[in-house]
Amino acid sequence: MSGTESEKAESMSSRGKATIPKEFREELGISTPGCVKFVRTAEGEIVIRPVHSVTDLRGILGGKTDDQGR
């Protein structure tokens, strides 16, 4: 995280759903309904990143693409 860490606890439903707090959604520019992706960093942290376009999903399959990147 950055030099000024911020955290907030949220409950999770039995189906694994949690709400991203409004302050974080606004800061990241995540609209509702919207799409986010979860990224595991080299340090083992999980980062939530907004998906604003289809190109933001590039690489999400981690090597599971054909020769043309599909």
- Compute the Cα dihedral for 30, 6, 48, 33 and give only its sign: negative
The model's confidence at residue 11, banded by pLDDT at 50, 70 and 90, is: very high
Whole-angstrom distance, CA of residue 23 vs CA of residue 15: 24
Phi then psi for residue 9, to 5 deg, are: -90, 140
Q: Tens digits of per-residue pLDDT, 20-65?
A: 999 999 988 888 888 888 989 999 999 988 887 666 555 555 655 5
Whole-angstrom distance, CA of residue 6 vs CA of residue 15: 26
- Structural contact between residues 29 and 52, judged by C-beta atoms closer than 8 angstroms: yes
The model's confidence at residue 69, banded by pLDDT at 50, 70 and 90, is: low
